[in-house]
Structure 1
Amino acid sequence: MSVQSLFSDSNTSTYIIAEIGVNHNGSMDLALQCIDQAVESGADAVKFQTFKSEHLVTKHAQKADYQTNNTSSTESQLEMLQKLELSFDNFIVLKEYCDEKNIDFLSTPFDEESATFLDSIGIDAFKIGSGDMNNIPFLEQINKYKRPVLLSTGMSNLEEVREPLATLKDCSVAILHCTSDYPAPLEDVNLNAIRTLHKEYRQVTGYSDHTSGIEIAIAATVIGARIIEKHFTLDRSLPGPDHKASLEPSDFAKMVQAIRNVEQALGDGIKRCMPSEENTKIVARKSIVMASAQQAGHILSSTDLAIKRPGTGIEPRFYQELIGKQLTHDVLEDQLLQWDDLK
């Protein structure tokens, strides 16, 4: 499915994003391999990060704790990002490659120049990171492009979502619940906030998952997430800030298949006997049967009747109605009664 179909009322599939982010480690070869593996894993989209490092952070900006733990403790955030930066020309190639592979190309711009560039190459949707939720001047620029926007809401309270949504008034916007830690501790995941966001803002709602493993993303689909974004890497042991909080292709594929299974199992919510149950219904349900053989004209009493399988005769709920009825012909012991046996 495409990102545009997310905003169709008839769509019920979960839109699954393989967030490559900066897990290409600045290598185009690695980036292209990630796209190939994301396609093989069943993702609907890949998502990158587009930035000019010097426009994103100051020279003295500290790294987040998880970045320090997973990278050199002596380098600054700027130095780390410079190693992970791809050129605009690189992204042109990546976008064309995604088109060839029939997978949506998404990216998170972190500065105005990068946003303008992504619009110019026809990005399928902007992903806005949680750190820019309150960056209203930046969101005003994004709004001018009138492209679909996936808005992450990590580190925010419910009311803080209102202003960015109002700013992006000319875009189709999906809201992603998110816990901005890598990996996110389970006690802080708060999946029920997905329902809260949807109830409050009536937007397409999803989940950007930073937990370890695949079960939380699967659970998110059960409670209504229409989008799942999950970090994706070829090898969790590679150097870099995000690899350890990412899924390798085999696990990503398991997550995708599990989500598709859940979608199929959720159904339409109408309680009814399903086709696969029909045979079991006949075998497992019960009918009113004769406790002993009787001749035509016999008046039935409770001692004449029993309730046994299968369920192809008169249903037990009519038991009291049969008391006092007269047999129209001879019947055998254990014979299932039918209405034309009685008068």
Structure 2
Amino acid sequence: MTISIGSHSIGAGHPVYVIAEIGLNHNGSVELAKQMIDVAADAGAQAVKFQKRTPDVSTPEHMKSVMRETPWGTMTYLDYRYRVEFDREQYIEVGDHATLRGLDWFASPWDEPAVAFLEDLNVVAHKVASASVTDIGMLQALAATGKPVILSTGMSTMEQIDAAVEVFDRDQLIVLHATSSYPMPTEEANLRMIPTLAERFAGVPVGYSGHERELQISLAAVALGATVVERHLTLDRAMWGSDHAASLEPQDFAQLVRDIRVVSEALGDGVKRVFPGELAPLAKLRRVQA
């Protein structure tokens, strides 16, 4: 099955769809977001992704009044959430910049009002964060948009994933294997879930959302059949914020995209043939002809 997002086709036989997850790594700065968009575009990614919250709705009650040290001083967790959220005009500015750089852009809504917010901006797709897999009300709101939905599956049981998948039209669904450790240790990658998900949800494109520090696991995911790879992007891992340590810096992100293209080309089609480059060695080395 092939899913279309923007001008890109996603599925077996198509280039791996690489998403640069900017998330909240912009720390509330439009200029930082634009710089990361430029990094993603220069690297050859196809999309950038953000996160959209309505803090009063999406912030757990027990967290709202917890005090947090931030670059802007000590504030409640709820106030911090408001501080790093982009408003409509800011999203228009960063979205236009992404479009001008040839990238698709969309976001993970964390609540139902955020779905409406993103729909008003006419995003090309929606992303379900792993934390939202069990939010059936929000999933139903996303399904009602009729747009492609990319579903991450970290911190979830198979039964919870099954229930989430049932909400959507499979003709518009992409499922990503993920482990929501930040950063993710190698032993928690469990990459064999990629073929497991592909078999369980036959025909649905399956990909990988990674939170490791290195590149190898994401490349192995492509070798196992991932049609989408999403990785967090930062300008500097030392920056303040919860996701920077599990993100890739510009040089590593560019190398990842290059290596994904190499691995994808090397996979071939699984049909055994004698390649042109083998003809000379064949004539020289094979003593007994069939």
Corresponding residue for 2:35? 33
Q: Write out aligned runs for 1:86-105 (5 A).
A: 86-105=86-105
Partners of 1:122 and 1:99 in 2: CA distance = 12
Corresponding residue for 1:256? 257
Corresponding residue for 2:218? 217
What letter corresponds to residue 164 of structure 2 in structure 1?
P
Change (3 A) 1:280 1:69: farther
What letter corresponds to residue 57 of structure 1 in structure 2?
T
Partners of 2:70 and 2:283 in 1: CA distance = 60
Change (3 A) 1:166 1:224: same
What letter corresponds to residue 49 of structure 2 in structure 1?
K
Partners of 2:250 and 2:93 in 1: CA distance = 22
Change (3 A) 1:156 1:32: same
* TM-score scaled by length of structure 1: 0.77
What letter corresponds to residue 256 of structure 2 in structure 1?
M
Corresponding residue for 2:57? 55
Residue 38 of structure 1: CA displacement?
Answer: 0.7
- Structure 2 SS opposite 1:225: coil
Residue 195 of structure 1: CA displacement?
Answer: 0.8
Contact 1:207 1:225 in 2 (8 A): yes
Q: Which has the higher Rg, Structure 1 or Structure 2?
A: 1
Residue 166 of structure 1: CA displacement?
Answer: 1.5
* TM-score scaled by length of structure 2: 0.90
Corresponding residue for 2:283? 282
Partners of 1:41 and 1:283 in 2: CA distance = 42
Q: Write out aligned runs for 1:65-76 (5 A).
A: 76=76
Contact 1:18 1:230 in 2 (8 A): yes
Say whether residues 1:182 and 2:191 are aligned partners: no
Aligned match of 1:13 in 12, 15, 23?
A: 15
- Percent identity between matched residues is 36
Residue 46 of structure 1: CA displacement?
Answer: 0.3
Contact 2:105 2:124 in 1 (8 A): yes
Partners of 1:278 and 1:60 in 2: CA distance = 69
Corresponding residue for 1:246? 247
Change (3 A) 1:194 1:76: farther
Please tell me the root mean square deviation across aligned C-alpha atoms, in Å. Answer: 2.5
Residue 73 of structure 1: CA displacement?
Answer: 12
Q: Write out aligned runs for 1:94-133 (5 A).
A: 94-133=94-133
Q: Deviations over 1:44-70 (max 9, x none)?
A: 10000111222211454189xxxx899
Residue 146 of structure 1: CA displacement?
Answer: 0.4
Change (3 A) 1:265 1:117: same
More strand by share: 2
- Extract structure 1 runs of 4+ deviating beyond 4 A: 68-76
Q: Deviations over 1:292-311 (max 9, x none)?
A: xxxxxxxxxxxxxxxxxxxx
Contact 1:59 1:76 in 2 (8 A): no
Contact 1:25 1:84 in 2 (8 A): yes
Unpaired runs of 5+ in structure 1?
Answer: 288-314, 318-343
Change (3 A) 1:70 1:83: closer
Corresponding residue for 1:138? 138
Change (3 A) 1:69 1:201: farther
Partners of 2:102 and 2:164 in 1: CA distance = 31
- Structure 1 SS opposite 2:206: strand
Change (3 A) 1:73 1:99: closer
Residue 35 of structure 1: CA displacement?
Answer: 0.5
Change (3 A) 1:196 1:71: farther
The count of aligned residue pairs is 284
Corresponding residue for 1:231? 232
Contact 2:10 2:16 in 1 (8 A): no
Decide which moves more: 80-89 or 127-136.
80-89
Residue 267 of structure 1: CA displacement?
Answer: 0.6
- Structure 2 SS opposite 1:234: coil
Partners of 2:252 and 2:195 in 1: CA distance = 26
Say whether residues 1:85 and 2:85 are aligned partners: yes
